[in-house]
Chain A
Amino acid sequence: MKFLPDQVVARLQTGMQTPDLSGTRYRALRPLGHGGMGTVWLAQDSILQRPVALKILTAENSSADLAARLMQEAVVLARLEHPGIVPVHDAGTLPDGRTFYCMKLVEGKTLDRYALKLPLRERLRLFQRIAEPLAFAHSRGIIHRDLKPANVMVGSFGEVLIMDWGLAKVMAGTGESSATGQVPGQIMDTIGESALAQQEGHVLGAIEESPEAKQEGHDMDAIEEPSLAKQDPRNVVDTAKLSSPAKQVSGHEFTRAVQGPLISGALAPENATAHGTILGTPGYMAPEQERGDVNLIDQRTDVFALGSILQYLLQEPPGSRQSEAYSRPLRAICAKAMSAEMSARYASVQELAADVGRYLDGMTVSAYRENIFERTVRLVSRNRVAVVLVLAYLFMRLLFILFSRH
Chain B
Amino acid sequence: MKNDKLIDFDENDDGIDRAGFLKCMAWAGTGLFCLMSGGILKTYGMSQIIDKTTGGIKKGLDISKGDFSFAQISDSHIGFNKPANPDVVGTLQASISKINAMPSTPSFILHTGDLSHLAQADEFDTLEQTLKSAKTGKIFYVPGEHDVLNDNGKQYLQRFGKDTKGNGWYSFDFNGVHFIGLVNVVDTSEGGLGVLGNEQLQWLESDVKGLSSSTPIVVFAHIPLWAVYPQWGWGTRDSEQALSYLRRFGSVSVLNGHIHQTLQKVEGNITFHTATSTAFPQPKPGAAASAGPMKVPAEQLRNLLGLTSINYVEHDHTLAVTDLPLSDAQQQQSGHQ
A binds B: no
Residues of A within 8 A of B (CB): none
